[in-house]
Amino acid sequence: MQLQPNSTSNSTPIPISESQRNKIPHVLTVAGSDSGSGAGIQADLKTCAARRVYCSTVITAVTAQNTLGVQGVNMVPEDFVAQQLTSVLSDMNVDVVKTGMLPSLNMVKVLCQSLRKFPVKALVVDPVMVSTSGDILAGPSVLAGFREELLPMADIVTPNVKEASALLGDMPMKSVSDMRTAAKLLHDLGPRNVLVKGGDLPNSSDAIDVFFDGQEFYELSSPRVNTRNTHGTGCTLASCIAAELAKGSSMLSAVKIAKRFVESALDYSRDLVIGNGAQGPFDHFLAFKNISQSSCRQDRFNPNDLFLYAVTDSRMNSKWGRSIAEAVKAAVEGGATIVQLREKDVETQDFVDAAKVCLEICRSYGVPLLINDRIDVALACDADGVHIGQSDMSARLARTLLGPEKVIGVSCKTPEQAHQAWIDGADYIGSGGVYPTNTKANNRTIGLDGLREVCKASKLPVVAIGGIGMSNAGAVMKLGVPSLKGVAVVSALFDRECILTETRNLHAVISEAALLPQ
Ligand SMILES: Cc1ncc(COP(=O)(O)OP(=O)(O)O)c(N)n1
Ligand SMILES: Cc1nc(C(=O)O)sc1CCOP(=O)(O)O
Ligand SMILES: [Mg+2]
């Protein structure tokens, strides 16, 4: 039955002044519906909700699908897709448009027309052609539409290797080097940025994606999560990029955040069982549920952030003649996943000023920044949290002062201290000294055995610290206790000539060790 629009549908809008507007970042997804809710419109809605971004929807097709595959596809008439686009774009202050399944050439044309009429801040194109189950979702005629009309308008296009190959006339894609070539060739078609996703690349232990912004190539790698629940990862990644762009992130930062979001959702959902088929959906919200169960009280903290924890040292920076900000920038560029400013000799106002600059750097990379000891400095610069020790303010009091959103880490040498940190509302613990260190005076070494004991007892994620560097980080990561999430390092990064190289090398070592069987 076709319903006619009622007479109020075109009524005059009520004027709202700029100051009355309570703006929320807004993504419009133009995609197909997945009845199993793993991918498509449903994945986009869940992703945007998880990232706290408003999501409106233009539905291009309705699919009947489940974990076994796609049983049917019903296209929405093109003129009705155009009508949905006009309804949303003409009225709802969309920041970013993200596209998924566009099943006909005319649909691509209709979308491009609407975007020319109602320009938005950014266009994210996920060139969906084949479902993860192998079913065709867009025919060859759509390829021409992508190449000639949509890609030239895109701020980023996010093909997997099969889609990149199809867009480039069946170019062979067997290696990261092929992905780089493809990224360059796709960029020549007009999009401002290209992300070629290497998850399907054969013989690769990591999920390596190649990002190209027209000037620089970035290889973004994350450990492959061993799970059947990967249906909808492409839609989720693209809509998370769109959500972060809508919030104002730079493109590289949006891509990094999105990659980490997908990685942690897959990790948390690895054992979820929905459906009987080969490929299941994952839970976009499970990460938050687990975090709150384990007392990680804020959604910006992901335990995987502890993977490579860079802790600064003012004396080392003075020795090498660099500013705190220079040191932090080099570490995050090298792959540090979280940073702590441990500046024992800096005047308070200088500390606050430097922390603000570092915070900007870290935010642009999607990396959290914590302050050592100084709750006042953390509050003054609105850092992401603090790290405190047994002789500092209690975690309970820090939590009261900082509120539920900030990250709190506590140093613990014993299972009892780890238990207390959990009771007090900490988010993670730092445990050491794993090895002897010159960085912290009179520090008791607990060794790998002491670390194992703390990790086994801890309900919170743990990062190991103390004397860790290239020669022994692998041994720490191979401890194989699930709560151990990474290594925290001072001198092996900051008491070196080139922080960037040292961070890169250490990242490679711990990534390899984390993948090896225990
Ligand atoms: C990640 C991490 N773990 C442990 C510490 C040590 O903190 P603390 O015991 O407070 O000692 P100082 O760093 O203040 O000397 C840390 N900073 N980071
Ligand atoms: C700051 C700190 N805390 C430790 C603890 O055992 O809690 S060991 C330590 C110093 C770590 O420096 P490096 O990586 O240079 O050994
Ligand atoms: Mg301290």
Asked whether 464 lines ligand 2 (CB < 6 A), one says no
Residue-level pLDDT at 296: 33
Residue 69 annotated as catalytic: no
Residue 235 annotated as catalytic: yes
Closest listed residue to residue 108, CA positions, set 89, 131, 85: 85
Residue 117 annotated as catalytic: no
**Structure-model confidence comparison of residues 414 and 258, the more confident one:** 414
Q: What is the largest CA-CA distance in the chain?
A: 79
Please indicate whether the domains covering 26-157+225-279 and 303-515 agree at the CATH topology level.
no
* Nearest ligand 2 atom, CA 488: 14
**pTM across the whole model:** 0.57
Provide mean pLDDT across the span 217-223: 84
User: Ligand 2 centre from 182 Cα, in Å?
Assistant: 44
Query: Is residue 46's pLDDT more than 70?
Result: yes
- Most confident stretch, 7-21, 281-295, 297-311: 297-311
Q: Strand pairing partners for 223?
A: 206
Q: What is the pLDDT of residues 326-343, one digit of tens each?
A: 999 999 999 999 999 999
Closest listed residue to residue 285, CA positions, set 55, 27, 42, 51: 51
Asked whether 175 lines ligand 2 (CB < 6 A), one says no
Residue 99 annotated as catalytic: no
Residue-level pLDDT at 10: 53
* Nearest ligand 1 atom, CA 392: 10
CA distance 518 to 444: 27
Residue-level pLDDT at 23: 76
Residue-level pLDDT at 455: 97
**Which tokens in the block code for residue 499?**
């922080």
Per annotation, catalytic residue among 32, 36, 63, 235: 235
**Which tokens in the block code for residue 3?**
């319903």
CA distance 212 to 159: 12
Asked whether 465 lines ligand 2 (CB < 6 A), one says yes
- Tell me the C-alpha to C-alpha distance, in Å, between residue 149 and each of 137, 392, 505: 19, 60, 42
Residue-level pLDDT at 225: 82
Closest listed residue to residue 221, CA positions, set 518, 507, 513, 492: 507
Q: Which DSSP category does 367 fall into?
A: -
- The domain made up of 26-157+225-279 has a fold known as UDP-N-acetylmuramoyl-L-alanine:D-glutamate ligase (3.40.1190)
User: Ligand 2 centre from 197 Cα, in Å?
Assistant: 37
Closest listed residue to residue 135, CA positions, set 199, 69, 201: 69
Query: Is residue 292's pLDDT more than 70?
Result: no
**Structure-model confidence comparison of residues 468 and 280, the more confident one:** 468
Residue-level pLDDT at 475: 96
Mutate to test the pocket of ligand 1, among 372, 373, 454 (most ligand atoms within 8 A of CB): 372
- Cα angle 200, 204, 207 (rounded to 5 degrees) comes to 60
**Structure-model confidence comparison of residues 2 and 334, the more confident one:** 334
Asked whether 443 lines ligand 2 (CB < 6 A), one says yes
Residue 414 annotated as catalytic: no
Residue 234 annotated as catalytic: yes
Mutate to test the pocket of ligand 2, among 465, 476, 491 (most ligand atoms within 8 A of CB): 465
> Beta 206-212 vs 193-197: how paired, if at all?
antiparallel
Percent of the chain whose predicted confidence (pLDDT) is above 70: 90
Helix (H, G, I), strand (E, B) or coil at 97: strand
Residue-level pLDDT at 2: 45
User: Ligand 1 centre from 109 Cα, in Å?
Assistant: 57
Asked whether 439 lines ligand 1 (CB < 6 A), one says no
Query: Is residue 211's pLDDT more than 70?
Result: yes
Asked whether 450 lines ligand 2 (CB < 6 A), one says no
What residue segments make up the domains of the chain, in order of their start?
Answer: 26-157+225-279, 303-515
Q: What is the pLDDT of residues 346-393, one digit of tens each?
A: 999 999 999 999 999 998 888 999 999 999 999 999 999 999 999 999
Residue-level pLDDT at 406: 87
Query: Is residue 14's pLDDT more than 80?
Result: no
Q: Within 13 Å, how many C-alpha atoms sit on residue 375's CB side?
A: 18
What value does the mean pLDDT of the chain take? 89
**Which tokens in the block code for residue 195?**
């992300």
Asked whether 372 lines ligand 2 (CB < 6 A), one says no
- Tell me the C-alpha to C-alpha distance, in Å, between residue 456 and each of 25, 220, 417: 41, 31, 13
Residue-level pLDDT at 57: 98
- CATH of the structural domain 303-515, one choice from 3.40.1280.10, 3.40.50.720, 3.20.20.70, 2.40.40.20: 3.20.20.70
Provide mean pLDDT across the span 509-517: 77
Q: Whose CA is nearest to atom 15 of ligand 1?
A: 440
First to last CA, the chain: 61
Q: What is the pLDDT of residues 108-155, one digit of tens each?
A: 999 999 999 999 999 999 999 876 666 667 778 899 999 999 999 999
User: Buried b / exposed e across 175-192, counting CB within 10 Å, b at 16+?
Assistant: bbebbebbbebbbebebb
Question: What ipTM was estimated for this complex?
Answer: 0.97
User: Ligand 2 centre from 114 Cα, in Å?
Assistant: 57
Q: What is the pLDDT of residues 398-453, one digit of tens each?
A: 988 887 778 999 999 999 999 999 888 889 999 999 999 999 999 999 999 999 99
Per annotation, catalytic residue among 234, 335, 469, 486: 234
> Beta 70-75 vs 54-65: how paired, if at all?
antiparallel
